[in-house]
Amino acid sequence: MIVRRLLLLCLWVAPAWAEQAPHIGVLAALEGTVTIIHAGLARVAQAQESISLGDSVQTGADGTVEIHLQDQTTLFLRPRSLLHLVSFAPPIPGQTPRTLSEAALEKGKMVVRTGTAPVAVTTPTAVVRAAHTRFAVEVR
């Protein structure tokens, strides 16, 4: 009985939490198999779909996706990649620029075009910090 109640609570809480995660960007273009993992649930991604803070994006062997974040950062994810969208803070006028977007590339390859503020990409072995530039990062 208790287990059943807990299960029901989880089912009620999880979608509520998922709804609260702010949208931080959109999948501007995609090809092949791309999956979004949102609140622990995986689904096949569609072009022009919104993505939220805490989402993960996974590309299949034939999958590529272009992600536009609200701070004008653009991420181009290559096939066989897994990216977690870790943090995103709105800019604070008048403050020293700080990391606006942070993404974690667990595996694969990605090209990053930075937007209006610095970006950090963490990998299993390094942290890449960049501003006003473009770069490619690969986890081998």
Residues in contact with other proteins by CB under 8 A are 64, 66, 76, 78, 107, 109, 111, 113-114, 123-140
Nearest-angstrom CA–CA distance, 92 and 96: 8
Contact 104, 86 (CB under 8 A): yes
CB of 4 to other proteins, least distance (A): 33
Which residue lies nearer to other proteins by CB, 51 or 75? 75
How many CB atoms are located within 10 Å of the residue 53 CB?
15
Which residue lies nearer to other proteins by CB, 36 or 119? 119
Which residue lies nearer to other proteins by CB, 52 or 59? 59
Which residue lies nearer to other proteins by CB, 76 or 88? 76
DSSP-derived 3-state class of residue 9? helix
Nearest-angstrom CA–CA distance, 84 and 54: 7
CB of 95 to other proteins, least distance (A): 18
CB of 81 to other proteins, least distance (A): 11
Nearest-angstrom CA–CA distance, 45 and 59: 10
